[in-house]
């Protein structure tokens, strides 16, 4: 009774081995790519965003941000407090210009549940000259 099971196992093992050898030969015979794929070029959208580090000490949160890019980054610190009765905090937006440094702080009354930063491209500064009204029609 055991002999047929051993033969079937041996035949199955041989079939798997031969199939694996056939696949390996096909992979080895595949031609190599003829041209190199160029590395992706960095786009302007990727060259944005201040590098920030957040530190939580007890109920206080401090974010240290430094912007290595030429575009101004508008950063906000958001803090969610652990206790249901504790008020969550969203800081005022802070513009971090090229090579500039900013420090944002917030706190909870008790424990901090989570803290995160949001980044937004800062638009051009508002001009001090009011827009000219349209000319009157004919």
> For residue range 99-134, what is the model confidence (pLDDT) as tens digits?
999 999 999 999 999 999 999 998 765 454 455 566
Residue 75 buriedness (CB in 10 A; 0-12 / 13-18 / 19+): buried
Interval 32-52 mean pLDDT:
61
Instruction: Output 4 or 89, whichever has higher pLDDT.
Output: 89
Please work out, in degrees rounded to the nearest 5, the angle formed at the alpha carbon of residue 25 by the alpha carbons of 21 and 31.
Answer: 160
């Amino acid at each position: 009774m055991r002999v047929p099971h051993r033969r079937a196992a041996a035949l199955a093992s041989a079939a798997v081995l031969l199939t694996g050898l056939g696949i390996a030969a096909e992979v080895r015979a595949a031609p190599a790519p003829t041209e190199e794929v160029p590395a992706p070029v960095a786009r302007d959208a990727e060259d944005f965003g201040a590098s920030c580090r957040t530190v939580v000490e007890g109920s206080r949160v401090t974010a240290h941000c430094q912007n290595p890019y030429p575009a101004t980054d508008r950063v906000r610190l958001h803090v969610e407090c652990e206790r249901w009765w504790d008020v969550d905090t969203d800081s005022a937006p802070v513009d971090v210009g090229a090579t500039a440094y900013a420090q944002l702080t917030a706190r909870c009354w008790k424990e901090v549940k989570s803290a995160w930063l949001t980044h937004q491209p800062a638009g051009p500064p508002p001009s001090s000259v009011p827009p000219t009204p349209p000319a009157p029609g004919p």
